[in-house]
Structures are given as structure tokens and as C-alpha cells.
A and B are shown apart, each in its own frame.
Chain A
Amino acid sequence: MNQRLKIAAFVILAYGAVPLALGGNPYVIGLIVASLTIGGIAVAWALLGNLGGMVSFGHAAFFGVGAYVSALLTLRAGWPVFPAMIAAGIGAAVASVATMPALRLRGPYFALAILAYAEIFRILATELKSVTGGAAGLLSIPRLPVVLGVDFGTKLGGYFVILTIVVMAMVVYHLIRRSPHGLALKAMHESEDATRVVGVNSTLLKAWMLAVSAFITGMVGAFNAHYINFLDPDYAFAGLWTTLAIVSAIFGGYRTVTGPLVGAVVVYLVDQLLFKAILPQGHQIVLGVLLGAMILFSPGGLMALVQMLVRRKESSHAA
């Protein structure tokens, strides 16, 4: 199947078949929305990990900042929800500037430093009681609005909003990846000196990637705040937002554009619909085993495994 057909099939499936088939089941749609929320963070994380070569344990910081910016703009300043969500993305990107000193670090040092930043943001949200409501959090955050007669405040409406955010994130990822900037970023992991001597400002490029990744994560955080209408620091800055995104991206294949989303949907839905039913307590253990197996047998993730199986099938047909 060529690329355009694949995209058309995805659009028909995601915007047509899924809502038609499952729109009447709020529980399943709710699960899909949750998986797409994780998928959005996973795409943003993979963009930084694959192109920027940086493993971040601190994406919860951008998720939380985005959630708080949008919630506060709508609650306190009366902003409409969708512009506030865009501002939340910008807010998270601005917050990423504070983490930029960590860009001088490499490998695990960067990962740990950015984890510390996430904790700093959580403490700030807890202590700045007059602004954020402190540990008690923010209640009655405006729901997603009705636009042109479409109520985005329902579960199905929320599905379309988060789906669109994730699709746009994937488009951005794809466009960056094929640009000279994306090529330079890819090359930088193994050959940083070689890229610098041909004129690449590696620190600036990494900073841009961090800001773009934070922007997307902030938008997802903002969506989540308006979807569940509640926020507190422990929830908004929970490490789970980062770990689930990392697991999803690695499981699906973080070096592909579609892998993180596929990983999030598969990991979350299989866990919630299958493993949880079989093993109500400790069902995540099965997920851990599966992730370990994936890393061992297909380090490129699920998408690489699928591609390999398709190629094998095609070559056996040809023979």
C-alpha cells in the first residue's frame, strides 16, 4: 500500500469508522481518549528522543504547565478554551526555556536533570496557592466548547479534539524529520563534531526540538484539563505521564512517526480491556513483560516488527 493510501485509510478509520462503531460506548471511547492523550505525549517525547537524541524523564513538567496555563487562562482570565489551549502549548514551550541549561548535559545526566525540573514545577504548582489553588487544585475547569453546533465537551467530541492534536503532532514530526534541520538532528547523535564543523548550531537545534516537544505536550495537558475539568499538582505533574509515554513510544517504535501513537493505543487498550480483566491486581506486570520481550526481540518496536513480517510475507509470495 502506498503512503497516500495508508494516510487515507488512517483518516477514514480514525475520523469515520471508530466514531461510528464505538461512539455509542462512552466507556470504550473514554479509554481511547486516554490512550490518545498518552499517544500525544509519546509522539512529542519521540520527537525529542529520536530527532533531538535526548531521553527525557520530565515531560510531565510540560504536560502540567500546559494544563495549568490553559485552566488558569479560562478560569481566571475568561479566555475561550481553544485559544487557551494554544497559549498552553506556548506556555509549555516557554517553560522548556527554563530547562535549557540541561541541554549541555548528555545521556542519563540530561534525563535526570529534566526529571528534577519536573519536580520543581510540581512544587511550584503546590506552593503558589494564590495562583494555582495549591494542593487542593483547580475545580470546575471549563469543558471543551460547542463550536458550530458540535459539542466537543462530550466523550466523542473530546475524542475528535485529542485525535486532531495527535495527528497534527505527527504531521509536525514528519515535516521536521524530512527537513535539513531534521536530518542534522538525526546526524547529531553519532557525529556531533562533524555536524558542528559544517555549520550546525547543535545547541540551538536541540533547544528548538525541546520547545516543539514541550509545545505539543502542553497542548495535550491543556486538552486533558478541559476534558476532566479538574487539576491538582500531583495529578498534573505525575511521573506516570512520562513513563506511560516512554513505554508507549518504545513499544510502538519511537524512531517512526506512527510508532508512538500505535504503541500508546495498543499498550493502553490491551492493558485496560484485556490484562485488567484477566488480572485485576497487578495487570501492569504483563505489560512490563511484554515491553521487555519487545526490546529483546524487536528493539525497533511494534512498527518495525510489523514491517519485517510484511516484508517476509511479500518475499515468500515472490518466491
Chain B
Amino acid sequence: MLLELKGISVAFGGLVAVSDVTFSMAEGEVLGLVGPNGAGKTTLFNAISGLARPSQGRARLLGRDLIAMPIHVRARAGIGRAFQVPQPLHELTVRENLMVAQRFGTGRMDRQRIDEILDLLKLGHKAESDAATSLALTEQKALEVAKALATDPKLLMLDEVLAGLETAGKRAFMLTLDEVRKRFGLALLIIEHDIETITRLCPRVVVLNFGRLIAEGSPEQVFNDPEVIRSYTGGEAA
């Protein structure tokens, strides 16, 4: 198993943001993580990537205990993450962003691989541009994915990387993500609100509501689940 979460809870003082979440992912799998706003999706991402400390539970990546690992070690262990709000490394060019990610995420430098990632994410023409000031939103999102890819991840976690893109841009980005997955043989864990996107990309979906896992299965199964419908509508299932 690639990722195993068992009974993960994250609390901020008295507020329980994630409660007793258990699921696992196989290598190369694409899993969607959905739920209404405030369901705890990003907090769960933070717990996996190390930005939040679980108050309970276990997390393992290829059998290695994630909870005991500092954040920077998780990158080397194989966890790549793209943030919902793009976080380019400031004062660096696009290429330098990838160089830092590769050097620290893998411990080596491979210019060819960086060029390959830049081409794949259609950032080649912006390689020497300032990452924080010269990129359009789509390019910033692409850079988020490119940075994570440069760390050579086994699991790539994408936090609403398609949010804010117009329909054509979204479709093109989905194709790129599919290509990325095939080229590098990665597992993808995707947070996304857009049901069409999730249905297209993810054979399996996990649904959170108020921090709890309320459904798990194929997109068809979960989006017809009465509890899932209630969590989105706040009312009765049709």
C-alpha cells in the first residue's frame, strides 16, 4: 500500500477539523477527496504533508511512519504537494523554483529532468521569468505541480489546482495531469469541488463532511449517496 491513514484526527484547541479518518491508497492510484467547504480536506492534506500535527491516528507512506517525520523529510520520502493558493518560491525564476525543489526534495540535480517537467507543464517559455510576478494564474498552478514533480514524488497531492480556471483551461490542465501521472507513474490525491473533474479523473472518491469520512467508492456511488447529497445541500436527499 502507498498511503495508509488510520484514525487520523486533527484538532485546533477545542475545534476538531478532522475526525478519525481512515483510508488507504495504492501505488499509481488516483483518488479524489471531496466535501463541502470546511469539511477538513485541506487540513487532512496538511496532516499528510506535515503542516498540521494530528492529535490522533497513524499515517504511513510505503510502510514508513509519516507522523514522526519532519516536513522536509516527507518530501524526500515521496510526498509532493501543490497548494490551493499558488505559493511560488519568491525572488526566484521558474527554473530556480524547480532547482530548489529538486535539490532538496531528491538530493540531486538533473537539468534534463527539470526541462522535461517544464515542457510537460508548458512552462518552458517562462523558465527564466520571475515566478512570483510574471505568471498568469494557469501558469502559477502549473508551477505548483511542476515544483512538486521536481521532488520526484510517489504521491502527488493536488489541492484545488483547477479552481479559478475557465472551462477550456480546466480541460487542458486535466489532460496535462493525466499525462503527468502516466509519464511519472504517480499516485494522485486530488481535492476538487468540480464534480465533472472528479468524475473524469478519479476512479475512486472519498467524501469528508465536518471532518468525518462519510462515503467512499466510485464517483457514481458517492455522488448518489444520500448522506453525501445532504452534506452538499444541507437538506434531504432527492
Is chain B found bound to chain A in the same assembly? Answer: yes
Residue interface bits B84-100, CB-to-A below 8 A is 1, else 0: 00011111100011011
Answer yes or no: A183 CB below 8 A from chain B CBs: yes
A25 at the interface (CB under 8 A from B): no
Q: Does A77 contact B (CB under 8 A)?
A: no
Nearest CB in chain A: distance from B196 CB, A: 28
Q: Is the CB of B90 within 8 A of A187?
A: yes
Q: Which single member of A183, A196, A197, A200 contacts B96 (CB below 8 Å)?
A: A183
Question: Measured between C-beta atoms, what is the minimum distance from A283 to chain B in Å?
Answer: 37
B residues 182-208 touching A (CB-CB < 8 Å): none
B100–A183 contact, CB under 8 A? yes
Known: A197-B71, A198-B151, A200-B72. A191 touches B90 (CB 8 A): yes
- Closest A residue to B109 by CB, please name it: A180
B70 interface hit (Cβ, 8 Å): yes
Least distance between A156 CB and chain B CB atoms (Å): 41
Residues from chain A with Cβ under 8 Å of B83 in the complex:
194
Cα A201 to Cα B49 with chains together (Å): 14
Q: When the two chains form the complex, which single residue of B75, B109, B132 contacts A198, counting CB atoms closer than 8 Å?
A: B75
In the complex, A191→B147 CA distance in Å?
A: 13
Interface size class of B (residues with CB under 8 A): 20 to 34
B75-A201 in contact (CB<8A)? no
Q: Answer whether A196 and B71 are a contact pair too, CB < 8 Å, given A180-B100, A180-B103, A184-B100.
A: yes
- Given that A180-B103, A184-B104 are contacting pairs, would A201 and B92 also be in contact in the complex, using a CB cutoff of 8 Å? no
Q: Are A199 and B109 in contact (CB under 8 A)?
A: no
Q: Which residues of A contact B74 (CB under 8 A)?
A: 197
Cross-chain contact A200 with B100 (CB below 8 angstroms):
yes
With both beta carbons as reference points, the residue of chain B lying nearest to A202 in the complex is identified as B72
Distance of A183 Cα from B91 Cα, bound (Å): 8
Choose among A190, A193, A199, A202 the residue that contacts B101 (Cβ–Cβ < 8 A): A199
- 1/0 contact string of A194-211 vs chain B (CB within 8 Å): 111111111000000000
From B51, B70, B89, B151, A201 is in contact (CB under 8 Å) with B70
Per the bound structure, the CA–CA distance linking A168 and B70 in Å amounts to 35
Say which residue of B87, B89, B104 sits within 8 Å of A199 (CB atoms): B104
Residue of A whose beta carbon sits closest to that of B144: A194
A186 within 8 Å of B (CB atoms): yes
Residues of A within 8 A of B54 (CB): none
Q: In the complex, what residues of A have CB within 8 A of residue B96's CB?
A: 183
| Interface residues contributed by chain A, number (CB under 8 Å) | 18
- Is B75 in contact with A199, judged by CB distance below 8 angstroms? yes
Tell whether B141 is near chain A: CB-to-CB under 8 Å. no
Instruction: Indicate whether A189 reaches chain B with its CB closer than 8 angstroms.
Output: yes
- Chain B residues, CB < 8 A from A186: 90-92
A191–B50 alpha-carbon span in the complex (Å): 16
> B89 to chain A: closest CB distance in Å?
3
Residues on A with beta carbons closer than 8 Å to the beta carbon of B70:
201
Question: Would you give the 0/1 interface string for B103-128, flagging 1 where the beta carbon is closer than 8 Å to chain A?
Answer: 11110010000000000000000000
Using known A-B contacts A180-B99, A184-B100, A193-B51, determine if residue A199 contacts B151 with beta carbons closer than 8 Å. Answer: yes
Quick one: closest B residue to A179, CB to CB? B103
Judged by a CB distance under 8 angstroms, whether B212 is at the interface is: no
Residues on B with beta carbons closer than 8 Å to the beta carbon of A184: 89, 100, 103-104
A197 near B51 (CB under 8 angstroms)? yes
B81 interface residue (CB < 8 Å to A): yes
- Chain A residue contacts of B76, Cβ below 8 A: 199
Contact residues in A for B49 (Cβ distance below 8 Å) = 197
Distance, CA A184 to CA B132, complexed state (A) = 14
> Counting CB contacts under 8 A, is B161 at the interface?
no
Quick check: B105 and A198 within 8 Å, CB to CB? yes
Q: Is B213 an interface residue (CB 8 A)?
A: no
B135 to chain A, nearest CB (A): 14
Q: Judging by beta carbons under 8 Å apart, are B89 and A191 in contact? A: yes
In the assembly, what is the distance between CA of A316 and CA of B185, in Å? Answer: 55
Q: B50 touching A187 by the CB < 8 A rule? A: no
| Chain B contacts for A183, CB-based, 8 A | 89, 92, 96, 99-100
Quick one: closest A residue to B157, CB to CB?
Answer: A197
**B104 surroundings in chain A (CB, below 8 A):** 180, 184, 195, 198-201
* With contact pairs A186-B91, A190-B91 given, residues A195 and B51 touching in the complex (Cβ less than 8 Å): no
Nearest CB of B to A155, in Å: 41
State A255–B51 Cα separation when bound (angstroms): 30
- What's the nearest-Cβ distance from chain A to residue B157, in Å? 9
The answer to whether B88 touches A195 (Cβ under 8 A) is no
A71 and B96 alpha carbons, distance in the complex (Å): 44
Check A189–B99 contact: CB distance below 8 A: no
The contact string, 1 if C-beta is below 8 Å from chain B, for chain A 220-261, is: 000000000000000000000000000000000000000000
Q: Is there contact, CB below 8 Å, between A198 and B148?
A: yes
7 intermolecular pairs with C-beta atoms under 8 Å apart: A193-B51, A194-B87, A197-B79, A198-B147, A198-B150, A199-B106, A202-B72
Taking A183-B100, A184-B89, A187-B97 as known contacts, 8 extra A-B pairs with beta carbons closer than 8 A to each other, sorted by chain A number, are A184-B100, A186-B92, A194-B89, A197-B79, A197-B81, A199-B76, A199-B104, A199-B105
